[in-house]
A and B are shown apart, each in its own frame.
Chain A
Amino acid sequence: QKEVEQNSGPLSVPEGAIASLNCTYSDRGSQSFFWYRQYSGKSPELIMFIYSNGDKEDGRFTAQLNKASQYVSLLIRDSQPSDSATYLCAVGLTGRRALTFGSGTRLQVQP
């Protein structure tokens, strides 16, 4: 079992729809969770971070954390073609001094 798992996709959604990206992690004691967006050939850029159970909203983005079920998700409302990218989930696993990344989910927003 990978420590941080994501479906590689591609996830294809029509413009204006809600895109739902999911990430599961193996370590129940993990405390910090991040979503990065990465365009092809570019560096990852932070979209959201979340530390506590529940939802956290920032504009069109909502991060959802459920520590009991060990998953974190990212919802993108009113998806735009410019949202087409790979989304990386990163987790601060217990005892690790650096973030551990999932392999990423590629999102395609169809105009």
Chain B
Amino acid sequence: DADVTQTPRNRITKTGKRIMLECSQTKGHDRMYWYRQDPGLGLRLIYYSFDVKDINKGEISDGYSVSRQAQAKFSLSLESAIPNQTALYFCATSDPGLAGITGELFFGEGSRLTVL
């Protein structure tokens, strides 16, 4: 089983629908992230969380919300999906790293979302 699991892996929905992407991990990491990937734009950070009570916006948080239900679970919601939210979404985890230096990310397999 994957250490970082995302569900669903693929989803097609319509404009205006609410969508939740879920992420769970067995790596025991406190830090969890949601990134979005669009062709030619690399990975862009949506939200991140360093523990259950610590939620932070990334560079493209508008139109998204998150919930950290437990150390191992971090969900991303689109309250009212729009077509330009069509993308590949990745959940990732990390440990604290050395002396505050941002450490390696471990990625889930991705959730491909299409908004019609």
A: which residues have CB within 8 A of B? 4, 6, 8, 31-32, 34, 41-46, 49, 51, 88, 90, 92, 96-104
CB pair A103–B102 under 8 Å, yes or no, is no
Q: Is B103 an interface residue (CB 8 A)?
A: yes
16 example contacts (A-B, Cβ-Cβ < 8 A) are as follows A4-B42, A32-B97, A32-B103, A34-B104, A41-B88, A41-B110, A42-B109, A44-B43, A44-B107, A46-B105, A51-B101, A96-B102, A97-B102, A98-B58, A98-B102, A99-B105
Contacts of A44 in B (CB 8 A): 43, 90, 105, 107
Contacts of A102 in B (CB 8 A): 42
Which among B42, B88, B104, B109 has the greatest number of chain A C-beta atoms within 10 A?
A: B42
CB pair A43–B90 under 8 Å, yes or no, is yes
Contacts of B64 in A (CB 8 A): none
Out of A6, A32, A43, A51, which one reaches B109, CB within 8 Å? Answer: A43
Distance of B36 from chain A, by nearest CB (Å): 11
Residue-wise interface mask of B (48-59) relative to A, using a CB-CB cutoff of 8 A (1 in contact, 0 not): 101000001010
Q: Taking CB as reference atom, which chain B residue is nearest A31?
A: B101
- Measured as residues with beta carbon below 8 angstroms from the partner, the interface class of chain B is 20 to 34
Q: Taking CB as reference atom, which chain B residue is nearest A106?
A: B40
Which among B43, B58, B98 has the greatest number of chain A C-beta atoms within 10 A?
A: B43
Out of B40, B102, B112, which one reaches A99, CB within 8 Å? Answer: B102
Out of A4, A8, A31, A49, which one reaches B104, CB within 8 Å? Answer: A49
Contacts of A34 in B (CB 8 A): 104-105
Contacts of B104 in A (CB 8 A): 34, 46, 49
Contacts of A51 in B (CB 8 A): 98, 101
Q: Which of B56-114 contact A (CB under 8 A)?
A: 56, 58, 88, 90, 97-98, 101-105, 107-110, 112
Q: Is B12 an interface residue (CB 8 A)?
A: no
